[in-house]
Structure 1
Amino acid sequence: MDSTLPKMFSHAVAIDPSDIDHMGHVNNSVYLKWVQDAVIDYWQSVAPPDAVARHLWVALKHEISYRKPTFLQDNVVAEVIAEKMEGARAYFTTIVRRGQDVLSEVKSCWCCLDAVTQRPARLARDVASRFLPPTP
């Protein structure tokens, strides 16, 4: 794998019967929960435990493009890529897939917070590098 490419994280998505709307597919609002779960899982899986304990993440913005409906029986994965970090902000792209089919694409912006003060906090460079490719 090319170390200059963004690192991708896969998060299995569980579809609950309560996620299904009156049209027989996953309600659009459920995708936001999936993205939040996937980004937080990414953080907790990649960051060192002390950094996880010291930081929280809050979503500032989500831009969702819905491509295809998702159904209860579908096997779905959310693929998360950290695109960039600027100060306490991080920008992610999350692709929700059923096999090769793209169900949705979500661009989101998150703010890293100090867990105690709940004020914006920059990640240490070595922690941020676990998500992002090295800069040339």
Structure 2
Amino acid sequence: MSTNRHAIPITIQPEDIDFMGHVNNSRYLNWVQDVVLGHWQAVAPPDAVAAHLWVALKHEITYRRPAFLKDTDVVANTVLEKIAGARAFYNTVIQRGEEVLAEVQSMWCCIDSESMRPVRVSRDIAETYFGLPRKQERHTDD
């Protein structure tokens, strides 16, 4: 089954709360990491999961509403927008029910687990497991 979407439930813990009484902004980035890495582990084949690690290169986050300890029904939903070479681009929305708490655009780099160097995600994995469209071949007239 191929999919470019993944979601995880979020349980807010007392240690997530900051001095202002709501979830600390830094926790949102932990949730993004959890859902993105969870996506890779849930969808990619086991040999690819073992051979590749992911590191964040960039996050752009827009906070919409605060979250609180008592909140339930909080979910992180992510969509893999595209894979380009060793990079993957995700759009993650953290919600409480239908209410958007934060939106995050992030870029990740695939790393070979042995060499610890960037490595391209194979076209086969991108197409077969993540449902990303095959790049159109360029045709020229002779």
TM-score, length of structure 1 as denominator length: 0.91
The 8 Å contact of residues 82 and 132 in structure 1, kept in 2 or not, is answered as no
Shift of 1:115: 0.3
In the alignment, does 2:22 pair up with 1:25?
Answer: yes
TM-score, length of structure 2 as denominator length: 0.88
Match of 1:111 in 2: 109
What is the root-mean-square deviation of aligned Cα atoms in Å? 1.5
Shift of 1:12: 1.2
Q: In the comparison of the two structures, how many residue pairs are matched?
A: 132
Which one of 55, 77, 83 corresponds to residue 58 of structure 1?
55
Amino acid at match of 2:133: P
Match of 1:84 in 2: 82
Unpaired segments of 5 or more residues in structure 2? 137-142
Distance 2:126 2:18 in 1: 38
| Higher alpha-carbon Rg | 2
Unpaired segments of 5 or more residues in structure 1? none
Distance 2:120 2:74 in 1: 32
Report % sequence identity.
57
Runs of 4 or more consecutive aligned structure 1 residues displaced over 3 Å after TM superposition: none
